[in-house]
Amino acid sequence: MKKVIGVLRRGGIGVLPTDTIYGVVGSAFSRKAVERLYRLRRRNSKKPMIVLIGALTDLAVFGITPNTKIKKILSTVWPGPVSVVLPCPSQKFSYLHRGVKTLAVRLPRPRSLRTLLKLTGPLVAPSANPYGLRPAETIEEAKKYFGKRVDFYVAAGRITKNPSRLIVFKRGKLKRLR
């Protein structure tokens, strides 16, 4: 994992298992890595990607300060397979929020993944597939999609879980988007 951590800290990208499915990941602090992921996945450039964090305190790095009510709700779904759309008005992170001024953020359950995130910093982590195709369930499928256009692959066998649930707070109420 030292190699993976080094690649991610230097702005590289790769495929690894997340808490839900295989993700193609890069540092949320590297504009270069984020743009590379958009091109690789042929993703709509106006649609933000999910960001994985290693601890609740990572929200502050993005200027996200949830109120007491939202913190309480987050404590019931995190760590876990739920991505939460939160306000991120900072222009500094416009390359992440793509002008919508919100980020979908997730604190994953597996301790090993949270440890990795603490060493790399937050990671942008969309599913490992080009836009419109189904997510890779194996590293072999991911390699068919991306070949040598990513810097590393981390295998964990076949993963057939569903993508994370996606929720947003609208006027103080929770709304499920997926």
Q: Which has the closest alpha carbon to 114: 128, 101, 125, 102?
A: 125
What is the reported pLDDT for 178? 84
Domain residue ranges in the chain: 2-176
Question: What does pLDDT average to in each consecutive run of 10 residues of the chain (178 residues)?
Answer: 96 97 97 97 92 96 93 93 94 95 96 96 97 96 98 96 89 81
Question: What is the reported pLDDT for 175?
Answer: 85
Tell me which CATH code domain 2-176 carries: 3.90.870.10
d(CA 5, CA 165): 27
Res 24: pLDDT: 98
pLDDT at residue 59 in the model: 97
Model confidence pTM above 0.85 = yes
How far, in Å, are 4, 94, 106, 143 from residue 79 at the CA level? 23, 26, 8, 29
pLDDT at residue number 170: 80
Core vs surface per residue 46-67: b (16+ CB within 10 A) or e: eebbbbbbbeeebbeebebebe
DSSP 3-37: HHHHHHHTT-EEEEE-SSSEEEEEETT-HHHHHHH
